[in-house]
Each structure stands twice: as C-alpha cells, then as structure tokens.
Structure 1
Amino acid sequence: MTKSLFRVLTLALVLGLATPLAAQESPTAKAETAEAQVGQPPQAQQQADPAFDREATKLAGQIKAILAGSDVTAGKVGIHAVDVATGQVLHSQGADEPMNPASNMKLITSAAALDKFGPQYTFGTKLMAKEVDDGTIKGSLYVKGNGEAFLLHEDVLDWAGQLRQKGIEKIEGDIVIDDTAFNAAYLPPGFEQKNEDASYRSPIGAVSVNFNAVTAIVEPAGKAGEKPEVRMYPPNEHVEIVNQATTYEGRRRRIGVKSVPTEEGTKLVITGKIGTQASPYRSRRKRIDNPPAFAGSVLANSLEMVGIAFDGEVKTGQAPDGADVVVSHNSQPLSYVVLAMNKWSNNFMAEQVMRTLGGDDQTASTWDAARQEATAFLKKAGIDTSTVTIHNGSGLYDGNLVSPKQFVQLLRYMSSHKWAPEYMTSLAVAGVDGTLERRMTGEQTTANVRGKTGTLNEVSALSGYLRTESGRLVAFSVLFNDPPKRAWRYRPVQDRIVEAIAGFDE
C-alpha cells in the first residue's frame, strides 16, 4: 500500500469509524470523573441497581456456559468488563492475575506514546554533508535518524531524487549512518528467546528502512535445470542471496526462503524448485540483522538508480558538528503510526515507538529508560504497577505481565484522554478491518467492537471497547494463558464472551 493511499484510508477511519464509540459517550465520562474512578475497587463505584444486577447475573451464567463448553479453563482465564462512565462491573473473574498479554502490550505502548508526544508528532531523518561543491559531496553523506517506524523504500528513493534535483551527481566519501539516538542493542528484550527469521522478530534501530525486512521474488529461468532468477525488495547489496533453487519443466512451484544471520549481516537462502511455466513466487518478509548497514545499502542502491555516483562504503558513525542538512524528511504523524501498529499488530513498529519513549533530542534512548517511561505513564493513569512487568513494547514471547483489570483501567483512562479519538481509532474494528476483520461478524458486534488482539502459542488476548445493547460504553479484557492446545484455537471462545457482553441489556 502506498503512503498516499494509506493517508486516504486512515483519514476515512478517523472521520468515520471513530464516531460511534467516542461521540455517543455519556456526558458523565469526563476526564476528571474517569481519572477519579480508575483504580478504585468496584464496590466503591457500584450502587444498588436491581436491573443491572439481574443482567450481570445473566451474563455470568452465559460466560460460565461458554467456558464450560471449552477446555480453555485448563489454563488461566482472566475476564474483566466495566462500564466506562460509571465504573460498574458487568463481569469479572481472574481479573487481578498478572498474565502474559501478548500483543495487547501495544495498548500500553501506543497510549504512552500518544500521551508523551501527541498525535501530531513526527519523526525526523536528515541527510547531511560537510561540503557540497559543483555537484559533488566532498566527503561523506551522513544519515541521522531518531527512530521512525514507518520509513519505506519509496522514502529513500525520494531522498535520492531530491539530491539529484539539487544537482548532486557524486559522493566522494562514504555513507555514514548516525543511529546514536538509540543506545546500542538492536534486538528488543525477549526477542532472543526464539531464533525465528520472520519479520515479526525484526531488530530495530534509529535509522531503519522497510521494517528491517526483505522480500524475495523468485522467477523461473528460461530452461529446466537452470537456477531461477531471484530479486529482493527493497533492492540492496547488504543481504547476500544464496540461490540453491532449480527450475524444472512444469507449472508448479515449491520454494523455501530463509534468512540466516552472518558476521557481516544476513544471507537469504533460496531452496526448492519452480516450474518453467509457474508464476513468480513472492516470499513473506524476512528479517535482517544489521539495521544501519541495511539502511545504508538501500540508500546506496537508490543513489545508483537516479544516477548519483557512489563507490564508498556504508559505515556507522556520528554526524559531525557543522554539517549542513541537504535533505530533510519527516514521518507520518504518530497517529498514523499507532493506527498501523495496532490494527495490524506490527511488532517492529511497536518496539520502535517504545524505544523512542526513553530518549529526547539530547539523550540517547535505552531500553531501561523506555520501560521506566511506560511504567510512569501507567502510574499517571492511576494503575498500581507493582504487579505489572513491562519487558518489551510489542508483547512478543515471554516477559510481560499485565492483568485484565489493569488493561481495563488503561482503557477507561484513555477513553477520556484528550487523544481518545486517535487512540480508539487505532484499534481494529470487528468485521471491518485489521486483525478483527474476520472475527465477530455478527450483527451485534460488527463495527461495534474495537479491540486489540494478541496471539502467541500459549496466549490469546482480546481487549478493547464495545457498546452494549442498552447503550453502555464498556471496556473489556479477555486473556487466556497456557491452554491445553495452541491458543489461537480459542479465539471463538473469546469472541462468544465478547458477544455476550455486547448483549448486556438491563
């Protein structure tokens, strides 16, 4: 998807889909009311309401029946659903238990970022040089970034085009990537737990291109027995292609693509066979291992494409004082970033955004500082963080611990936050888009449930907002940990629980 199309689609979402939940909110759900209620015990908030109590008892029976029809209770089950405006608890069980939230962690990451920076915030990347003379950059071209999460190949091509339009025809020195805005450690915490080559486990960096991932395109050779043609997107010389595949006479294809870390970076190993009459094969995105080297190589290739001569090396280093900015780039606003991150649960974007929390223009970000900033935000939201563990920003693998009740407290706080529309719009809409496009497609839940999903082998998570049959805006969290089968198999159970909550009609 091009960025221009993404802008149009996002604007449609902001103007259209944000309205049902936010605009109908009860007038009593003002910021001061929600902040005063968050963190209070339910008993202090609920008053005698026979109709509500009858419906809550009915809901408890429905949820009990749903769980009884599944073996998910062999693991941990946590459920919490609360009226956002009044604090009345519709249902709660196992809600205080800290659990692995998987990608529900992105709810914390995106909320903390919006709170600190605001939705209009943009990330910047600058191309700098000490001296430009007669179409030549004398010395090196420096690329300095501060952690943009949505920097694409087309942006790098645009940089090269701008340089060419400014009359630059040659770079005498090297390409130097200044990624000092992040202090070391490209691999986010917890990502070392498994050695997977998928892009959801990509490293991060202050200068990162194309989600630090590549796609292989494999096309058959003209004759059987020959090696197929392999191309990469984005094109670069950093990732080494090891082509072990063959072309055979036929129409089918069976191609394997694996990225393997090396001392220098990454190699992409292509195996299998493809028929002479088969259509091209396009792999899923595969992670790279050295973000600055990869970014510099993509830039070098882009310079060549527009006719700028460059025969230097790609290095890391710090832009010198006094260097002039020759090209300046600003990212999409943060609101676009968190929308893409949450709707499609992009781990790379979440880790980039989390990392930016820990630094500023004068101080390089560290993981510890970023996690401390996120924890401080939760405290600001009135949440007791003594049982919260923030290990990384995406929720990948083990290490994070958050309870269903704490997620609901966060959701209530954000429902009356000044950036509530941007936050709520960032969530997937049941039956409409993102990771909920094909879930909860019934009349009562389609376009009514906004949520963040989370899935690991042993975790299925779903938290968000919905409006009940009686018109209540409800924040809910349904977490399953350690079920007897792969956790994704229990998504229908979660969906039925959320559907039952949506049917609350006192």
Structure 2
Amino acid sequence: MRFFILTTAMLFSFSAKANLDAKFAQDEMQSLAKKSKVQLSDLSMYASVGEGENLKVLLDNNGTKLMIPASISKIATASAVLATFPPGHKFKTQIWITGDVDKKGVLKGNVYLKGGGDPSFVSENMWFLVNAFLRNDIKRVEGDIVVDDSLFDKMRYDISRQKERVDRAYDAPVGAMSFNWNSINIFVRPGAKSGDDARVYADPENEYIRLVAKTKTKAGGGEVFADRKEDPKFDGDLLHVGGSIGVNAKEVTIFKNITQPDLWSGYNLKAFLSQRGVSVTGAVKTGNTPSTASLAAEAESKAIEAIVADMNKFSNNYVAEMLTKNMGTLKKEKGVTLADGMVAIQEHMQALQIPKDQYHLESPSGLTRENKMSSYAMWKVLQHLRNDFRVQPEFLQSLPIAGIDGTLKKRMKGTNAERWVRAKTGYINNVVTLAGYAGLEDGRVITFSFIYNGATDEAAVRQYFDNLLKSLLK
C-alpha cells in the first residue's frame, strides 16, 4: 500500500507538469509583468510546448509586432551558418613562400601569411602553423612577411554596428587574417613599494604593440587605464598605460582591441618565428600572395560548430561578422563584404518561410537598432533548429546554459530553471531579449522568444523573463 501511495504521488506530479496550458502561461505572464512593472505593450512574446500534432501555443503577446531583437539576431545567423557549412567544416590559415632556400636554411624571398577567415585563430594555432613551417628547414628569412588579407574587404567595423566602440573581443575589428580575437591583454602589477613604477606586461608581446607605461604604485591605490595614442611614425598601436595601483593590489587586466588585424597578425607571426629561432630581416607589410608561391604550412580552425558556440555563448559580434563574411565567400572569391554574407542569411530566412513583413536584418550580430524582428519570426527559426536533426545538436550545444555558462552563467542559478533553460541573450539600450528552449521533466520542450523594447530598467526585465521561465517549469 505504501508503494502504491508513493507511485500515485509521483504520477500526480507528472500529470501536473503535463497539464501546462495557455491559460496558466498567459496568467503568469500578466501577473509577473504587473509585479515587475513591465508593460505588456512593450513586449513581443511567443512560446509553445511540444511539437507536431501535440504543439500548444502557450504565449502570444504582440507576437507579430516588429521589435529590435539585439543579440538574439545571432540565432538567425547561427541557423544560416549551420545550413551553409556542414558539421566539422574548418577554415584554413596558410603560409606561402617565394624564392629559394639554400643549404644553410636561408630563404631568399618572402613569407606570405594568407588569411582564410578563421575567427578562432589564436596563439595555439599560430604555434601549430609555425611548427609546420619549421619542417621546411628554414632558419632565416631574407625577405618580408606579407599578410594576405584579401579574402574579405577592408571594412573593419561594419556600419551596421553601433558607433560606440567597446574594448572587448566581442566588438573587435574584422579581417580575413585575424589573430587572438584581434585583442590584447595588458597586465598591471604593483611595484615593491609605494612610489615605484608599476610592472606592466602585454600579452602577446610583439612589435605591433608599443606600451608607454606611466603607472605608479601607491599606498592608497587608484585606477589603472590604457589609452590609444596616435603616432604617424609608428604603424602599430601605441598604448599609454597610466593611473595608479595599490601596493598590495592584485593584478589588474586591461583589454584593448587592436586596429589593424592584418599587420597585427603579421607581427605576431614574426614574434613566434623569432621564439623558434627563425629571424626575418625584412618588414611586415600587406599584399597578395603571388601565383608562383609555394605552400609551406597550413593550420585548420576549430570545427564550425565550436565557432558557432563561441559566437552564442559569449554573444561575440566579431565572430558573427567573420562567419557571415565566410558565407559570402561561396559566391565571391575576394573582397567579400558583410552585405555579401547577409544575402545568405536573407535567403535562409526565405527558405524557412519566415513572413517577410516580420523581420528586417541588416546586422548578423544584432549590435544595431536597425534590425527588426517579431517574437513569432524568431520562434519560427528556433522551431526549425529544434526539428532539423542535421543542425539541432550543434545549435543546442552552442547556447548558454542557465546557471552554468556563457551569458546565462549568473542567471537562474540555484533555481528550478538551472540547466533546464538554454537560450541566447540580447541587450542594447532599452532593449532586453531572451530566446531559446526550456525543458520539462516529462520530456517536452518549451520554445520561447521574449523581446522587450522600452524604458524599464533592464535588470527588472531580465528578472521578469527569468521568473516567467521558472514559473513555467514548476
């Protein structure tokens, strides 16, 4: 009898979850909005549970209203990318050479660093590329390092981005030959005693970056900053590091974007070659790889699904633009623009039969106020990604997990929604968005798209979205 009672209780709990319906969801949406002082007129929300014949629409509040989606625009970008490039697809970065190598290992010619549009090309990849280059038994280059950045155009910051720059990897400049997210880390540590110069380091170190360190150690501490300065005699980035740091303070990290991805990559190649004992006598410059050059080394990127995860987990606009330009290379061999890649996204949206009057996309990242989308249109993209087995696993693993990682690491932590919500976040001034999936213990999945455009404090809107999801998952 005791076993029967326990089983009945378990079945009742299961049944309660299985009876989630539209009335409950609508009531919760309205009740929580009132408590959070969020106006329903400022919201476009659409959500469903189940699939196929068992699909139920749970929420539809201004579902077809055009709104600014901010960074959940990357869901449409990810969908187009995964439809364009099969799982496991990789981009290639190459070193080509001209001239002859003598018996002493001297190359009397140029080294060409050719970018293949890899947004994930970082120090580990450069080491791999240099190690492969060393197997050509070249110990000295009596020529230049020429960076071939010609696959993409020279537009580093597309006009679709907001004009205000942010010194973070997610807002870095774009180039077919890019390195370390086109960003540098500056580390500052206090000196031995008050009045001493602080210790300042750049990572990675190379000739492209010049640091002018004027940071002091003070008993009372202070603030450390880095400003970019202009110097017509220097073709890299000149950074002045100033301010003060407490004598007992921990290391301070300053993030700065570089301005010229091609030269930045070339100088880093020179530095990595130097560390392996290969000297380069010439300059670092830009140019095209001649048809007479020979392939000397090649490095592959991470798989495309891992790069999409880099984009979505951390809402990286740089990766979004790099991937979009890569889609443009399928129809254009050189000088690919962001507009060329946006054609692929537009064609993908049309293939999914998204109503044309419910979206307008100019930017793949969403860092703009020009993008417009309804919550229903975004829901349609999410439903496609959920139901197409060819892309579903790759897309799902790219999303931030509530309470665990990415932009949802600190949200819904320690609640019933932790690990049960996987979603893309979005935010620009007066815009807060969240779209993705919420799993129920009975195996069903809620697909949701929440878009807010209004003046309510963004923290309150985020909390409203989180509370609504927690309520639906009870």
TM-score normalised by L of structure 1? 0.83
Whether the 8 Å contact between 1:457 and 1:488 is mirrored in structure 2 is no
Q: Secondary structure at the match of 1:191?
A: coil
**Residue number in structure 1 paired with 2:328:** 358
Distance 1:320 1:54, change over 3 A: closer
Q: Secondary structure at the match of 1:429?
A: coil
CA distance in structure 1 between the aligned counterparts of 2:193 and 2:100, rounded to whole angstroms: 49
Deviation at 1:259, TM superposition (A): 4.0
CA distance in structure 2 between the aligned counterparts of 1:354 and 1:488, rounded to whole angstroms: 31
Structural mapping, 1:349-428, within 5 Å: 349-360=319-330, 363-364=333-334, 365-417=336-388, 418-428=390-400
**Residue number in structure 2 paired with 1:131:** 99
Amino acid at match of 1:119: P
Whether the 8 Å contact between 1:103 and 1:396 is mirrored in structure 2 is yes
Structure 1: runs of 5+ lacking an equivalent: 1-50
Worse-matched range after superposition: 103-112 or 194-203:
194-203
Q: Secondary structure at the match of 2:449?
A: strand
**Residue number in structure 1 paired with 2:84:** 116
Whether the 8 Å contact between 2:358 and 2:377 is mirrored in structure 1 is no
Distance 1:111 1:257, change over 3 A: same
Deviation at 1:303, TM superposition (A): 1.4
Deviation at 1:450, TM superposition (A): 1.1
Whether the 8 Å contact between 2:95 and 2:298 is mirrored in structure 1 is yes
Deviation at 1:223, TM superposition (A): 5.7
Q: Secondary structure at the match of 1:80?
A: strand
Q: Secondary structure at the match of 2:438?
A: strand
User: Deviation digits for residues 96-117 of structure 1, max 9, x if unmatched?
Assistant: 1222212111111111111001
User: Deviation digits for residues 337-362 of structure 1, max 9, x if unmatched?
Assistant: 11122122222212211221111385
**Residue number in structure 2 paired with 1:9:** none
Amino acid at match of 2:167: D
Deviation at 1:483, TM superposition (A): 2.4
Distance 1:262 1:359, change over 3 A: farther
Deviation at 1:74, TM superposition (A): 7.9
2:300 equivalent to 1:330: yes
User: Deviation digits for residues 364-413 of structure 1, max 9, x if unmatched?
Assistant: 22111111110100111121234422222221132211111111000111
Structural mapping, 1:298-337, within 5 Å: 298-337=268-307
CA distance in structure 1 between the aligned counterparts of 2:282 and 2:274, rounded to whole angstroms: 12
**Residue number in structure 2 paired with 1:80:** 46
2:27 equivalent to 1:95: no
Deviation at 1:226, TM superposition (A): 4.3
CA distance in structure 1 between the aligned counterparts of 2:264 and 2:85, rounded to whole angstroms: 28
**Residue number in structure 2 paired with 1:462:** 434
Whether the 8 Å contact between 2:228 and 2:237 is mirrored in structure 1 is yes
2:203 equivalent to 1:233: yes
Deviation at 1:276, TM superposition (A): 4.4
Q: Secondary structure at the match of 1:193?
A: coil
**Residue number in structure 2 paired with 1:449:** 421
Distance 1:320 1:441, change over 3 A: same
Q: Find 1:492's aligned residue among 457, 463, 466.
A: 463
Deviation at 1:54, TM superposition (A): 8.4
Deviation at 1:260, TM superposition (A): 5.4
User: Deviation digits for residues 284-307 of structure 1, max 9, x if unmatched?
Assistant: x21111110111111111111111
CA distance in structure 2 between the aligned counterparts of 1:78 and 1:259, rounded to whole angstroms: 41
CA distance in structure 1 between the aligned counterparts of 2:20 and 2:247, rounded to whole angstroms: 68
Deviation at 1:77, TM superposition (A): 0.8
Q: Percent of aligned positions with the same letter in both sequences?
A: 28
Deviation at 1:435, TM superposition (A): 1.6
Worse-matched range after superposition: 265-274 or 60-69:
265-274
Structural mapping, 1:145-184, within 5 Å: 145-184=115-154
Q: Secondary structure at the match of 2:59?
A: strand
User: Deviation digits for residues 16-52 of structure 1, max 9, x if unmatched?
Assistant: xxxxxxxxxxxxxxxxxxxxxxxxxxxxxxxxxxx99
CA distance in structure 1 between the aligned counterparts of 2:245 and 2:414, rounded to whole angstroms: 42
**Residue number in structure 2 paired with 1:290:** 260
Deviation at 1:251, TM superposition (A): 7.5
**Residue number in structure 1 paired with 2:35:** 69
Distance 1:261 1:464, change over 3 A: farther
Distance 1:142 1:75, change over 3 A: farther
Amino acid at match of 2:39: T
Distance 1:147 1:253, change over 3 A: same
2:241 equivalent to 1:270: yes
TM-score normalised by L of structure 2? 0.89
Whether the 8 Å contact between 2:70 and 2:433 is mirrored in structure 1 is yes
CA distance in structure 2 between the aligned counterparts of 1:406 and 1:184, rounded to whole angstroms: 33
CA distance in structure 1 between the aligned counterparts of 2:38 and 2:456, rounded to whole angstroms: 7
Amino acid at match of 1:126: Q
CA distance in structure 2 between the aligned counterparts of 1:75 and 1:232, rounded to whole angstroms: 49
**Residue number in structure 1 paired with 2:73:** 105
Distance 1:190 1:261, change over 3 A: farther
Whether the 8 Å contact between 2:36 and 2:460 is mirrored in structure 1 is no
Distance 1:52 1:96, change over 3 A: farther
Q: Find 2:410's aligned residue among 429, 435, 438.
A: 438
Amino acid at match of 1:143: L
